Structure 1
Amino acid sequence: MKKLVFVLLLMSAAVLAAENGMAGYVSRYGVEETTKRLVEILRKKGVTLFKVIDHSEGAAAAGLELRPAKLVIFGNPKIGTPLMQCSQTLGLDLPMKMLIYKDEKGVVHALYNTKTYLMWRHGIAPDCAAESQKKMDKAIKMFAKYATGNLKGEGQKR
């Protein structure tokens, strides 16, 4: 049994290392419009919007330059709380976040932590709050697709 657990942990680590725990979509829009669309869908779906942090603005205030980058922090306690009941350390990564930024080539991305990474990081078993895990995963993907203009699946994954 110990060998099986060890092998599964190694396999999980390999998968997570490959994806780096992040996923997202390339946006058809600029950072401002992508952020606006994300906020729009969050409000429409009744998700709590906690904060939009403008990293570029913060950099400028410090006399530095940074390509456009905004972090949108949002959540739904009906989904997040059951997951934190599985592992309260998940509160370190909740509420959810999505980074919308322009890369060095001028391409705009909407990036988020994957469910697989979060569950692995906090040691949450697949059967603990399984419905919340599924809802969180489905919601973050849908929000990213909407924000980036990729709802019909024709969009480019990051």
Structure 2
Amino acid sequence: MNAWIGTLIALCALALSAATAYVQHRARKRETLGADVTAYFHRTSDFARIKLFDGTVRQAGYHLVIWNHGPAPAERVHLAVADVEGAAVELADCPPDEFPLQRLDKGARYPVPWIPVSDTHRGARRFTVHLRWQDGNGTQERLLPMRRGQTNV
């Protein structure tokens, strides 16, 4: 009888070890297939002169940078920016066909000059950035509260 109990305990331990190894393998695989896309404001040391599509030249003190710091590429990266009330913020140097980005490789950064079209958004500091992308794990989303620092305007 003691031999049967010992065998049963050993089989349970083996099953638990196998299950743990499988879960760890799946977690590592999921990590290697995933992109980690985020966004941040980058303050330019001098105002960047941006020539818009209509030919006018504007100055940008910030860039909204999209950054993939995950181990895998991100595909079909969508960007949407909203103010604190949830209204969409349109950026002057970002035409409607710019997003989705087809691919953002590991470590890649994609700067978008921060030039809001609406005058009501030019002095605002708080925004929400909504990012959506596809990676080896499927569709991912991130909602980021953002705060822009003071400029020399």
Q: Given the two structures, how large is their TM-score scaled by the length of structure 2? A: 0.29
Task: Report which structure shows greater RCO (CA 8 Å, sep ≥6).
Answer: 1
Q: Which has more radius of gyration? A: 2
More strand by share: 2
- When normalised by structure 1's length, the TM-score is 0.28
